[in-house]
Structure formats: structure tokens, C-alpha cells
Amino acid sequence: MDIQILGITVLWIFLYGYLIVASIDFGAGFFAYYGKVTKRDDVINSIISRYLSPVWEVTNVFFVFFFVGLVGFFPKTAYYYGTALLVPGSIALVLLAIRGSFYAFGNYGAKDSHFYTFLYGATGLLIPASLSTALTISEGGFIDEKNGTVVFLVEELLTSFYSWAVVFLAIVSVLYISAMFLSFYASKAKDLKALELLRKYALFWSPPTILASFLVFLALKGHNEEHFNNMVDYSYFFILSFICFNIAVWLVYKNKRYGTAFIFVMLQFLFAFFGYGVSHLPYILYPYITIEAGFTNEAMGIALVIAFIAGLFLLIPSLFLLMRMFLFDAKYVEGNREK
Amino acid sequence: MPELDSAMLSRLLTSLTLGFHILFATLGVGVPLLISGAEWIGIRRKDNHYRILARRWTRGFVVTVAVGVVTGTCIGLQLSLLWPSFMEVAGQVIGLPLFLETFAFFFEAIFLGIYLYTWDRFENPYYHWLLSVPVVIGSTASAFFISTVNAFMNSPKGFKLDNGQITEIKPLIAMFNPATPTKASHVISTAYLTSAFVLAAITAFLILKKGNSEYYRKALHFTMVTAFVFAIATVVIGDFSGKYLAKYQPEKLAAAEWHFETEKGADLIVGGILGEDGEVKYGLHLPNFLSILAHGDPNAEVIGLNEFPEDETAPLFIHYLFDLMIGIGMFLAALSTVFLILSRWRQGWQHSKLILWTIVAAGPLALLAIEFGWIFSEVGRQPWILWHVMETVDGATTSEHVGAMFILFFALYVVLGWICISVLLKMFRNNPVETEFEQMDR
């Protein structure tokens, strides 16, 4: 395998990891707030905070890892994205900063602040929307290079059907993934009341998710036909994704095997995300950066790959330990452990 | 007045974010070491005082770490957002330590999560203590890696630049450049020193307010011993840093010391005010001390500022920052030494009001010294973003919106700082240490 392909695959895996863990986190924030407003917080909020408290920081690292890795493997992206994304990137940063710190303030410090929960819930939906702009921009058409400077075409972005379809998909899939995961967590905790409610959320958000996916597909045809045709060539990825979606929703509908259902949710997004990624190649930022031209020099590429493999030897056992203690430890999940 | 163009605003926004982040980052590096140490002593001596100390520090630490994490994320992305051209170059040469830093951060984040929620999970208390070790390693390692990136900016090595093209890249040479040993060790030892003094200051303040108790005495002694060890380390490393500057960045040292003429047996100027004619007023001249600082030899030659083109040297106000940083460092070293001497030979004197109030003042002073040191180091390498390779103005973004972003982030940091402090105060007021003992006895 080419070192470029290896590099982008590594990054794509991390972005996928972030997509899953961050969706759970973002959606959970929304449900926690929604639960509070509808006076059902006693039912679901203990489940949510039991999962989130030990892992929120780890979720954040997935994100940092992705963008540091991207600049490391593909330094040219720093030049184009950096200039173009100053405003949307800064807004996303401020939202992330508010969300992360207020989570800690609320959960480790002052308990039960309505305002903190609201901030946590609202940012949970705004962040995916603002982060998805980076993916939208990668399709081309929103950046112009004039006289050696990069200009970000904000109006184009705000009036584009494609970009709104992506935002819509980002938000509904966050709620769908999160509800699916929390249903699994509630069933694991044998908390039937929470399960009943979360299951309803999961089923409620499943049709919009698949609808939004089709919408993005269609919108892309109008925006970047070359990419759309590539996606058609890789259509088996998306068919597999759709099959996984059906299995997951069916299992939840039948009220059984929530663990398996969530694995199928993960597979659903894995296929869709990698199908999207593969068909996007060789471009990282259409049409300015390809994986060939944008890749860092040979020496740094090799050093990064070695560092990455060495790092995995440290990370995988640690992540495994974290999951064993907070995801698969029945006593903890059921809430029978003291803090 | 310099013009407020994108480059200037980018500099201001970067300093704002870093200036805010560095306070939390310093505590983030140092406090885990003290927590781990306290828990270990508590387990070893079967002393609940130390174990409760570790718990209470951890609880406050989580809140500061959250702010450290989010502002760290900000600066991480701002590097690319505000300095795209610089990052395009740096990414190729220095991508490795940046990448490794996130690994260390990842490692720390995972184990901090586990550490926080497993206090009573294990039969053998050493298992829980062991979980703090990766947190200490992770936080210190990220400080090390990120310091190498900054060291590289001061001493770019491991690549060649031909007509804007970067060739012959050697990632390890770039990472272990000449500035790395002094920079990284100075950053780490001062982080430990500052954290120890911040915790000591809190303890001293509580003793003054609520009266002395065995718990507070142990906390104060433990933090002051730690402070003493790292104060000595900092003084030694500081001396090496001076010698590094003399050899590799003589104009930075010369600007810091207002040393204009190259001469043998150079004087060290402490304090003073620089007149418009280049005359130093009210300064204290220590004969031959600059030569000793720079080369370890009272008669060695020290290069003066006049040897360099004027547009390639840093602003001269960094002298004040340099003096303040060193002054506070010396003060911290002296204070911790006095404290230890008193507690060894004049039992009880170390808890006198004078000493306690001095310790209370030392906490914020230590944090100030961190700020002064970083501003000195960063402004001292102007006009360069990459020392003698790339000027700062050439690395900045061309976007027109930096000013608005500055206001946005300024508001963010005000809010975060304010709420962080009020949450911490509320947290410890609502849960005094006495109730914690009762809970533990049950």
C-alpha cells in the first residue's frame, strides 16, 4: 500500500471514530436537556452522565488527533483550510470550548444548573452543523484562489442546497446514533424506564437519518458530478450501509439485542463513511489538494506512520481498559458503584 | 504604533489564547504529580490525611483540566487558522512531535477518566494509585513534545530551504534541536514548581483563615518540599538556558540584558529604566556576571546588540520581563529554602503569619513568572517565527476577519475564567474537608 493511502486511511479511521463517539456525546447533551424540559430527566439523565463523565475528554482527543494528523500528513491542508475556515472554525472552537468546560463545571462542580444543561444541549446540535462545513468545503466550489490568497466564498456556502443537506444529515444522524447507543446502555443497565424512552427517540430519528442520506446523495449530483459518479461506482458500500440500517432499526423495533443493534449502527456509518471517503479520492480538497501532491515528505511520512503504530500499542489496551471499566462493567453501568 | 493588520491581530489573538491556556496547562502538567505523590504517601503510611488531600486536589484539578483541554484545542486549531503558511512549512518538518503530543494527551485523557471514577473500586489501593502514573507520564510527555515544537521555532534544524522549497528533512534532528534540552526541562520543572506553590498558597490561605490543623500542616509541608526540589532544579536549568542563549541566540540575550557593546567581562544589569538615548538609569550593575551567566567565565566575551541589524532584534522591553521572571524564580527558591530550614530547626516558625502570607503571595507570583517567561521567550525571538528562516508577518493568515475573532475569543476567555473560579470556590466552600473525613470514617 502507498504511504499516502495509509496516511489518509489512518486519518479517516480517526474521523470515523470521532463521528461515532462525538455523535453519542452531542446527542446525549441534547437528550439531557430535552429530558429536563419535559421533566423526564430523572429517567434518563443518570444513564447519560454515567456514560459521559469518564469519556468526554477522550471524545475531544479524537478530534484533536484528526486535525493534528491531517496537518502532519498533509501540510498543504493547513494552508487552504486554515485560511478558508478561520470564521467557521473559530465559531466551532468557541462552541466546543463552551461545551467541554461547562460539562465539567456542571458535572464535577456546581450540580444541576439549568443554564449549563441548556448550553450543553444547544451546542450539541450547533457543533456538528459547524464542523460539517469542513466536509462540505472539501467538495470544492466554496474556495477561490486569487492573487496567491485563498478566499472563502461564504455566500456560496450559505445558499448551497448541498451544504444544507449535509447540515441536516449531521444533526439528525447525531440524534439517531446517540439514541441508539443510549438505548443499548440503558438495556445494559437494566433500566427499563430509560430504555423505553430512549428506544422511542431512536425509532423516531431513524427515518429522517436515512432520508437525509438520500438527500445528500442527490444534492451532490448537482454540486460535484464527478464525485457523485464515483460514488455510484462504489454503490455496494452504500447498499451494505442501508442493509445494516434496516437490521439495526428492526432489532430495536423488536425490542431485543441492543448491543448487536448498535454494532449494526456502527457498520451502517462505517460503510457509508468509507464509501464516501474512497469515492472522494484522490482529492482531499477538490480540486486543490490530492493525496499525491498534498502529502508530506517521505521522511516525515515514515516517521509519522512509525509513531502512529507505536502509539496504537499504547492506545488500544488503554481504550480497552476504559471500555471494560465503564461500558462492560455491569456493576458500574447499573449504577452500583460509588463515585 | 504598529499597524493593526492581519499579522498583528493574529499575533495578538495567539498571545491571548496562549496566555490564557498556559495558566491551565502549567497546572495540568504539575498538579497530577502532586496528586499522585500525596496518594502514594497516603497509602504507604496508611494516612487518610494524604489520601483525602489527593481526592480534594483531584476534584479541583478536573475543573481546571477541562479549561486546559478546551483552550488547548483552541490553540491547536488556531495554529492552522492563523498561521497557515507557517504550518505548511512546520507541518512538514515538525509534524512528528505535534502528532506525538496528541498521543500523550490521549493517553492522559483515558487514564484520568479511569482514575476519577475508580476511587473505591479496588481491594488493593495501590491499583488505583497506579492509574495516576499514566496521567503524570502523559501530561509531562505532552509538555515535553510541545516544548520541542517551540524549541524548533527558536532553533530550526533538520531541513534545508532552497528558494522556498524545503528539502532534506530529518524529523528527529528537528525535534531534538539545540534548544530542546533547556526548553523542555525548563518548562517541565517550572510547571511542577508553580503547581506546588499554587497548592501551597491555597493551603497557607486556609490555615490563615480557618486555623491550623494536622491535615493542613501535612499539606503545606508536602507542597513546600516539592517546591524546594523543583526550585533548585529550575535555578540550575535556568543557568543552562542562559548559556544556550549566549551560544545560539545571542541577540535575544543581548536584548534581554540591554547589552549593546560586545565586550569581555560584561556586567549584568538588574532592573533599571532605559532612557531614550540608550542610557540605562537606576540599574544595578553586577560586574562580570553576564559573562558568568553566558559562558561560565567572568572574562568571557559577550556579543552585544549593536552587532545585529536593527530590524532583526527584539523590542527592548523584554528586559523587564526577563528580570521579573528571574526575580520571582529566585524568590520562590529562597522562600521554599527558608521554609524547610525553619521546619527543621525552628519548629513552628514556618507557620508564622509572615511566612504564611508570603506563601499566599507566592502562588500567584509563580503563575505570573510563567507568563513573564513565555512572553519574554516569544517576544524575544521577534521578528522571527522561525529563527532566521521565516519572519512572523510572512506566516500569518491573510483573512480579514481576525479582529472579530479576537473579540470573540476574548469574550470566551473572560467567561471561562470567571465561571471556572466561581465554580472552584463554590465547590470547596460547600464541601469543607471536615465533612470529607466523616464520609471516609463511615
What percentage of chain B reaches a pLDDT higher than 90?
27
Choosing among A59, A90, A313, which should be mutated to test the B contact, i.e. which has the most B CBs within 10 A?
A90
What pLDDT is stored for residue B259 in this prediction? 78
Which range is most confident: A53-57, A239-243, B4-8?
A239-243
What pLDDT is stored for residue B354 in this prediction? 82
Tell me which residue of A225, A206, A205, A209 sits closest to A162, measured CA to CA.
A225
Between chain A and chain B, the number of residue pairs with CB atoms below 8 A apart is 223
Sketch the domain layout of chain B as residue ranges.
6-262+303-437
pTM of the model: 0.87
**Number of domains within chain A:** 1
What pLDDT is stored for residue A337 in this prediction? 60
Task: Confirm whether A248 is domain-assigned.
Answer: yes
The C-alpha atoms of residue A154 and residue A289 are separated, in whole angstroms, by 20
Q: With bands split at pLDDT 50, 70 and 90, how would you rate the model's confidence at B440? A: low
Tell me which residue of B158, B139, B137, B318 sits closest to B245, measured CA to CA.
B318
Give the residue on B whose Cα is nearest the Cα of A79: B84
What pLDDT is stored for residue B277 in this prediction? 65
C-alpha cell at B111: 487514564
**Chain A closest-CA separation from residue B1 CA (Å):** 26
Q: For the residues A49-63, what does the mean pLDDT come to?
A: 78
Convert the pLDDT of each residue in B362-389 to its tens digit. Answer: 999 999 999 999 998 888 888 877 776 7
Residues of B in contact with A101 (CB under 8 A): 66-67, 70, 416, 419-420
The C-alpha atoms of residue B290 and residue B287 are separated, in whole angstroms, by 8
Please say if the pLDDT value at position B30 is more than 60.
yes
Choosing among A64, A101, A329, which should be mutated to test the B contact, i.e. which has the most B CBs within 10 A?
A101
**Chain B closest-CA separation from residue A75 CA (Å):** 5
Cα dihedral angle (B63, B65, B70, B73), rounded to 10 degrees? 180
The C-alpha atoms of residue B269 and residue B257 are separated, in whole angstroms, by 6
What pLDDT is stored for residue B441 in this prediction? 57
- Of A115-119, B75-79, B376-380, the least confident: A115-119
ipTM computed for the complex: 0.81
Q: For the residues A146-164, what does the mean pLDDT come to?
A: 77
3-state secondary structure of A87: helix
Convert the pLDDT of each residue in A98-108 to its tens digit. Answer: 888 887 777 76
Convert the pLDDT of each residue in B215-245 to its tens digit. Answer: 888 889 999 999 999 999 998 998 888 888 8
**Chain A closest-CA separation from residue B86 CA (Å):** 8
Convert the pLDDT of each residue in B152-169 to its tens digit. Answer: 988 888 888 777 677 788
C-alpha cell at B86: 507557517
What pLDDT is stored for residue B143 in this prediction? 93
What is the residue whose three cell numbers read 499525491?
A292
What pLDDT is stored for residue A339 in this prediction? 44
Contact B113 A58 (CB under 8 A): yes
Convert the pLDDT of each residue in A265-281 to its tens digit. Answer: 899 889 888 888 888 87
Residues of B in contact with A58 (CB under 8 A): 106, 109-110, 113
What pLDDT is stored for residue A76 in this prediction? 81
- Of A83-87, A271-275, B318-322, B334-338, the least confident: A83-87
Which residue range forms the structural domain that includes residue A111? 3-333
Please say if the pLDDT value at position B406 is more than 80.
yes
Q: What is the mean pLDDT of chain A?
A: 81
Please say if the pLDDT value at position B342 is more than 80.
yes
